[in-house]
Amino acid sequence: GENVEQHPSTLSVQEGDSAVIKCTYSDSASNYFPWYKQELGKGPQLIIDIRSNVGEKKDQRIAVTLNKTAKHFSLHITETQPEDSAVYFCAAFMFSGGYNKLIFGAGTRLAVHP
């Protein structure tokens, strides 16, 4: 069935280093890929998204890349800061089971150490 795999499940970096989270998806028709950041006890917040007509998108220290041929997309965070510590979810928008829906990855817990 349709799914999104996300790696790694946990990631620990030193402040100032870069962090990369990778996701693969199963449905080649998917064309929208958002990334959400979830802080402890809160709902997810959209931080960046990408559509299939572009290969890369940047927003300050955050960037997302998309390889449609390989069906994978990645989140890159540069110059990490302690406030970047959170759980990050990737998602892919798919038509499945008769309706459109977001399929989420299992999440990556990022810890940025001062």
Binding site for other proteins (CB under 8 A): 4, 6, 9, 29-32, 34, 36, 41-46, 49, 89, 91, 93-95, 97, 99-107
Whichever of 14 and 53 has its CB closer to other proteins, that residue is: 53
If the CB atoms of residues 48 and 77 are measured against other proteins, the closer one turns out to be 48
| Closest to other proteins by CB, 41 or 114 | 41
Name the minimum Å distance from CB 37 to other proteins: 11
| DSSP codes of every residue in the chain | ---EEEE-SEEEEETTS-EEEEEEES-TT--EEEEEEE-TTS--EEEEEEETT-SEEEETTEEEEEETTTTEEEEEE-S--GGG-EEEEEEEEEEETTEEEEEE---EEEEEE-
Q: How far is the CB of 60 from other proteins (least distance, A)?
A: 19
